[in-house]
Amino acid sequence: MIKPHGSDELNPLYVEDAAKRAELLKEAEGLPKLLVSSAAAGNAVMLGSGYFNPLTGYMNVADAMGVAKEMKTTSGLFWPTPVLNVVKDAGGIQGAKRIALLDPNVEGNPVLAIQDVEAVEEITDEQMRFMTEKVFRTDDMEHPGVAAFNSVGRFCVSGPIQVLNYSYFEKEFPETFRTAVHIRKRMQEFGWEKVVAFQTRNPMHRAHEELCRMAHEALGTDGILIHMLLGKLKKGDIPADVRDAAIRKMAELYFPPNTVYITGYGFDMLYAGPREAVLHAVFRQNCGCTHLIVGRDHAGVGSYYGPFDAQSIFHEEVPEGALEIQIFEADHTAWSKKLKKVVMMRTVDDHTKDDWIFLSGTKVRIMLSNGESLPEEFSRPEVAQILMEYYQSEAAKE
């Protein structure tokens, strides 16, 4: 199993000792409070879980700018995206050296973490523009990641944190949410040394299933980590609990026992395309995975990125030796009517568009909402049934 990024051992920021946590929660009662954004809360969960190893807390403006410019902090640590705690109003913590961070995603806004404040800096419009364009490759406010990144404010509160809980993820996804620490431990118990990770924010249809199988066989891995995002998505994306049920049913019925480990992580989607693909690689290395599948338009949205930009960034911008994890580069994968199986499109050159079974997301939603079965070449019937029940329940609300 490969080492974590930036250190020999994982250093998660969650306070494991129950007595220490209780002590810190007591201390928090007397500390200045700061209600953080959903993005900052997700960053805290990822820091607490060990996914963002070896970071010790939120970045300052200089580190965030360095990361945006060349994927390096001021200390030289390789990192692909800013990890920030940015708010609209920092007046309530003026002069404070230690503050309690409140969770915006849980009723009653409980204390999520305690932060030692190293600096409170106002990010200029020019700096904000620079970071946005570098990380997202666009400043278009129609891009959901750009809109979210620019909506949280301009006051950057930097410094180390101690994480006291995992927000809503443990309670809402008790069978799925797992920390990087837990994943490493379980994979060691499985005896897995070589592991390929599959990132998903969607249900898995036949093409995704076969892509995992292809990577597993081509790389000769011991197992597959199916790792789903459990945080906030853009409007129209399928909720995490529905995705979870569909993916579990697919793995249960169509993969051999002990080859797939299904887990999830607590983070809001950035939709940052290439930069987010590199972030995905970093935290899968922290999980202990040796490989990550990076497919067509990985972590993209709309037409903001080229279909294989998320692969080329690893060759063109990630420095040699910056990461130990390796990338399995995948092409678009679909059912071939000629070959009667799912294949990567680049592996065949005698096909026309009529030789493939394609369904757009819109077409899938319409069919399922109307109670129509999806072609078995596109989706397993048991998966389609779970999605159909969801879409029909949503249609009934309208």
Residue 228: what pLDDT? Answer: 95
**Distance from C-alpha of 76 to C-alpha of 310, rounded to nearest angstrom:** 23
Question: What pLDDT is stored for residue 364 in this prediction?
Answer: 87
How many folded domains does the chain comprise?
2
- Tell me: do 199 and 116 sit in the same domain: no
Choice among 128-137, 299-308, 318-327, 337-346 with the minimum mean pLDDT: 337-346
Are 186 and 135 in a shared domain? no
Q: How far apart are CA 282 and CA 324, in angstroms?
A: 9
Higher pLDDT pick, 313 / 357:
313
Provide the pLDDT for residue 1.
86
SS (H, E, C) 99-160: EEEECCCCCCCCEEEEEECCEEEECCHHHHHHHHHHHHCCCCCCCHHHHHHCCCCCEEEEEE
Residue 267 lies inside a defined structural domain of this protein = yes
Provide Rg for the chain, Cα atoms. 21
Domain boundary among 170, 205, 237: 170
DSSP 72: B
Residue 354, Cα to own-chain centre: how many angstroms? 34
Which has more confidence, 147 or 232?
A: 147
Task: Output the average pLDDT for the chain.
Answer: 95
> Who contacts 336 (Cβ-Cβ below 8 Å, separation ≥6)?
342, 343, 348, 351, 355, 356
- 350 lies in a domain? yes
Task: Report if residue 151 sits inside a domain.
Answer: yes
Structure tokens at 1: 């199993």
Among candidate residues 138, 170, 202, the one where a domain is terminated: 170
Q: Which residue has the tokens 């999520």?
A: 112
Q: Indicate which CATH number applies to the domain containing 91.
A: 3.10.400.10
pLDDT at residue 305 above 90?
Answer: yes
User: Does one domain contain both 184 and 110?
Assistant: no
Work out the average pLDDT over 130-142: 98
Instruction: Look at residue 107 in the predicted model and tell me its pLDDT.
Output: 97
Q: Which of 241-245, 308-312, 319-323 has the lowest mean pLDDT?
A: 241-245
pLDDT band at 332, cuts 50/70/90?
Answer: confident
Q: 225-267: per-residue pLDDT in tens?
A: 999 999 987 777 888 899 999 999 999 999 999 999 999 999 9
- The whole domain housing 89 covers 18-170
High-pLDDT (> 70) share of the chain, %: 100
Q: Is residue 31 part of a domain?
A: yes
Mean pLDDT of 338-349: 90
Percentage of residues of the chain with pLDDT beyond 90? 85
377 secondary structure, DSSP code: T
Structure tokens at 339: 């070959």
What are the pLDDT digits (tens) for 364-397? 888 988 899 899 999 999 999 999 999 998 888 8
Identify whether residues 107 and 244 lie together within a single domain: no
The CATH number given to whatever domain includes residue 296 is 3.40.50.620
Instruction: Give the pLDDT score at 362.
Output: 79
Q: What is the set of active-site residues?
A: 201-202
Both 214 and 240 in one domain: the answer is yes
Nearest partner of 42 among 232, 176, 241, judged by Cα? 232
Q: Residue 96 pLDDT > 90, yes or no?
A: yes
Distances (CA, A) of 308 to 213, 311, 312: 21, 5, 6
In a domain, 11, yes or no: no
pLDDT at 26: 98
- Give the pLDDT score at 191: 97
**Three-class secondary structure of residue 283 per DSSP:** helix
Laid out side by side, the sheet with 356-357 consists of 341-344, 333-336, 356-357
Mean pLDDT of 10-37: 98
Q: Among residues 155, 170, 185, which one ends one of the domains? A: 170
Whether pLDDT at 359 is above 90: no
With respect to residue 289, please indicate whether it lies within any of the assigned structural domains: yes
Question: Please, which pLDDT band fits residue 174 given cuts at 50, 70 and 90?
Answer: very high
Lowest mean pLDDT among 146-155, 214-223, 225-234: 225-234
**Residue 365 and residue 221 share a domain:** yes
**Tokens found for residue 90:** 């920092």
Q: Is the domain of 23 the same as that of 77?
A: yes
pLDDT at 146 over 90: yes
Structure tokens at 19: 């007595």
C-alpha span between 227 and 266 (Å, rounded): 11
Q: What is the pLDDT of residue 239?
A: 87
Distance CA 95, CA 120 (A): 9
